[in-house]
Amino acid sequence: MERIPSQRVKSGDAEIVYWSLGDGPPVVLLHPFPVHHEFWLPVAEVLATRYRIILPDLRGHGESGVGEGPATMEKHAADLARVMDDAEVGAAPLVGVSIGGYVLFEFWRKHRGRVAALGLCNTKAPADGPEARAGRLQAANDVLERGTEPFFESMIPKLLAKTTREMRPDLVDGALRMMRKMSSEDVAQVQRGMAARADSIATLKTINVPTMIVTGDEDTMTGVNEAELMRQHIANSELFVIPKAGHYSPWEQPADAAKILRVFLDGLR
């Protein structure tokens, strides 16, 4: 597919960049940390035959600026509202992977009238515990001292399924290529923002729009237990487990992810 032109919007103290492809009802797809919008392209190209797919780079990722201080969920949610305003989208189905899901919980609390449906992929509702929070803050400091490469390399076994790492070196290389758009400062401020995020378990019970929950059978970071917790708390939500996929399931198995999403979106119409 030819390179789609980007749009740029000022949000608070950062410039946020997004892309859109296809025509039809709008759908917003949020990528995980520490990659960017291209994570979704293999899925977006399938959906774009029927929908207008909006692909932001989250604050501090890809081509979007990080601004001053930690990239908090409040900032990300405000950025998403600005992107939707700029794209002239009132309400739409919103789908997020990992940090994308954290952003959507915050967005739901602030702007639920703009959420037509939710896709929560490879994400979780609880805030970080003390150990996880300390780990993120340590990673933020380490990356400022040592640079990003050791951090990105260390993330690959956590983010990608064993199957993917063994069978699809091209997907490993693609993930690393996307990660390398982030500077040490970007990684540090995004990690600090995630460490500070609110717990969203109580939020789950308030979600009353059609909701799809997706995880990978080899996701060791959020996995089936976290997905099941969300399914139990969100009324009438549906849970899908993608085989041979880790924490980056839509990147690892785009055909499966596109099919699940297409059925979900078509069912909303």
The C-alpha angle with vertex 48 and arms to 44 and 52, in degrees rounded to 5, equals 100
Per-residue b/e over 130-148, b at no fewer than 16 CB within 10 Å? eeebeebbebbebbeeeeb
Q: Which two tokens stand for residue 4?
A: 């789609």
SS3 labels along 204-252: HCCCCCCEEEEEECCCCCCHHHHHHHHHHHCCCCEEEEECCCCCCHHHH
* Exposed/middle/buried for residue 63 (C-beta within 10 Å: 0-12, 13-18, 19+): middle
Q: Is 85 helix (H, G, I), strand (E, B) or coil?
A: helix
Which pLDDT tens digits describe the chain residue by residue (269 residues)?
A: 445 789 999 999 999 999 999 999 999 999 999 999 999 999 999 999 999 999 999 999 999 999 999 999 999 999 999 999 999 999 999 999 999 999 999 999 999 999 999 999 999 999 999 999 999 999 999 999 999 999 999 999 999 999 999 999 999 999 999 999 999 999 999 999 999 999 999 999 999 999 999 999 999 999 999 999 999 999 999 999 999 999 999 999 999 999 999 999 999 98
Look at residue 1 in the predicted model and tell me its pLDDT.
Answer: 44
Write down all domains in the chain, each with its CATH number in brackets.
6-268 (3.40.50.1820)
pTM of the predicted protein model: 0.97
